[in-house]
Amino acid sequence: MTPEPIGVITSGLPLAPILTPLGLGLLLLLPMRRRWRVTLALASALLTLAFALLLMNATTGGVLVSELGGWKAPFGIVMAADRLGSFMSALAALCGVFTVWLMAAQPDPVRERHHSFALTSFLFAGVQLSFLTGDLFNLFVAFEVMLVASYALTVLGSTREQLREGFRYIVMNLSASALLVVACGLAYGTLGTLNFAHLAQRSAALGPNTTVTAVGVLLLIVFAAKGALFPLGFWLPGTYPAVPPATGAFFGAVLTKVGLYALIRVFTTVFNQDPGLPDTLLLLLGAVTMLYGALGAVSQREWRRILSFTVVGSVGYLAFGLGLDSPDALRASLAYLAVSVVVTLAMFLIAAVAERASGTRLVRARGFIEFLPLLAACFLLCALTVAGLPPSAGFVAKFDLVRAGLEGGTALAYAATASALLSSLITLYALLRVWSGFFWGRHPVSEPVRRVRWPERLPAYLASALVAALTVFAGPLLGYARGTADELGSNASYILGVLGEGPLDLPAPPTGDEVQQPEDAP
């Protein structure tokens, strides 16, 4: 008996986390009272999170596909959600809730008059589209939706710092987007498709091929620029401190991870038949980026500049794990990715409270443990997690990364592992210096302490509680990461999930009968 071909699981669920912030973002453009605007923005963020969690639960059983207009892959545009895409969608949606919460707690009449809530919703929609699109060209579209919103949020306010840093941010990302268009053209010219699953199928049939490898390296450069890997991430440490604290928290926690997600997608699902050169480049870039991020953090004196460099360092760890190209390293990278997103969010929210309380961006305020003892404890927990000290979740993930690096067996893998260990020590020193500089000691009587209301402090405390929860639930986190790494280890399930097992049927050309009825029809 001939087995039934595996069918594609079609569902509207992958569209829900994209359309929710997009649709409600359009509504936020309408004139309304601030109370209604805040309610709508919070409802949008919470609904997006609910849909993302439902998607994450549904994709444990396979890949879900949304076919736009009823056109099947690879001929039509599809949204495809596997374990990795839904995992990233949920992490981004979680950060979105905290971002809107802080925006609601810190009124900003000037930016709100210029639709900062709507722009933030469009940013969320672009990020969700990045994680759930099933083809390379729509990944470019997603980047543009995301970046246009982020450009506007970066320069909204028009301070000299914002315009200077926003210009560098825009020029760098536009250049990377132009390269991405070139890469899309080369991929289509070589393989005749842009659908991820179809690209994987055709590149596997072609085998190791110089042109395909060149396309992969070009994509690596593009996504390295989006992910702020050294030396292409020079724009990040100046840009993130220039935006408002709530926006900066989302930028720091999520935006660079979109570039890393694209690297994981391309080099595990799509182009995995000739990994030698991309892996070498990723190891090299990862090793240098880790050190650059750690040394940059030591060199800074302002809260969010220090944290921006730790974001750069975290990207280096992810590139290091991806470049090791082993199942254990990929599992550790995915676990570290989750930890990095949550702890970066918490650190930026803590910085927002600290800056508000001290009235300065500098960390040399001293003695704030007396006024904000819980915030001091939260920062210490997050600092240990970022540095990767036990018993934090950061230690669990970094320990696995270092072990995978030692098992790499090459000189470059050993060098990158040494860089990871050294960077952790330097980052720990940088963050402990922040803690001692801001919280420890006696506060100068001449310096005022500004009151920070509970609605402004609570997001920082809850995000720190999530960091602690990751430590408690490190086992389930590693289990989910293992399942995701196993799914990525063989792209067969993704290809079958999107294209199905049967032969590809070209859709029949339109005849006109679909829209025209005969004149004598009843």
Q: Is residue 329 part of a domain?
A: yes
Alpha carbons 507 and 157: distance in angstroms, whole number? 50
Report the chain (522 residues): mean pLDDT per 10 consecutive residues. 60 94 95 94 97 94 89 89 95 97 92 92 96 94 91 84 85 91 93 93 88 93 92 87 92 93 93 86 95 95 94 95 93 95 97 93 88 95 93 91 91 95 96 93 84 93 96 93 91 89 63 55 48
CA distances from 139 to 92, 129, 219, 276, 329 (A): 16, 7, 12, 25, 25
Q: Which residues contact 312 (CB under 8 A, 6 or more apart)?
A: 228, 230, 233, 236, 237, 256, 289, 292, 293, 296
CA distances from 253 to 16, 114, 153, 379, 503 (A): 22, 24, 16, 16, 42
Per the rule left: phi > 0, alpha: psi between -120 and 50, beta: everything else, 29 is alpha
Q: What are the tokens at 491?
A: 């792209």
Q: Which residue type does 176 have? A: A
Q: Is 178 exposed, middle or buried (0-12, 13-18, 19+ CB in 10 A)?
A: exposed
CA pseudo-torsion sign 389, 393, 398, 403:
positive
Q: Is residue 516 part of a domain?
A: no
Q: What are the tokens at 163?
A: 């315009």
What local confidence, expressed as pLDDT, does residue 319 receive?
A: 95
Per the rule left: phi > 0, alpha: psi between -120 and 50, beta: everything else, 133 is beta
Q: Which residues contact 52 (CB under 8 A, 6 or more apart)?
A: 17, 86, 89, 90, 92, 93, 128
Side-chain half-sphere exposure of 217, counting CA atoms within 13 A? 12
Q: Is residue 507 part of a domain?
A: no
Q: Is residue 199 part of a domain?
A: yes
Per-residue pLDDT tens over the stretch 225-276: 989 999 888 888 888 888 999 999 999 999 999 999 999 999 999 988 788 8
Alpha carbons 243 and 247: distance in angstroms, whole number? 6
Q: Which domain holds residue 255?
A: 15-444+452-502
User: What strands, in cross-sheet order, belong to the sheet with 9-10?
Assistant: 9-10, 64-67, 78-81
Q: Is residue 517 part of a domain?
A: no
Q: Which of 384, 414, 392, 411 is nearest to 402 (CA)?
A: 414
Q: Is residue 347 part of a domain?
A: yes
Total domains in the chain come to 1
Q: Which residues contact 250 (CB under 8 A, 6 or more apart)?
A: 95, 96, 99, 120, 123, 345
Q: Is 482 exposed, middle or buried (0-12, 13-18, 19+ CB in 10 A)?
A: middle
Q: Is residue 357 part of a domain?
A: yes
Q: Largest Cα–Cα distance of the chain, in whole Å?
A: 92
Q: Is residue 515 part of a domain?
A: no
Alpha carbons 208 and 493: distance in angstroms, whole number? 21
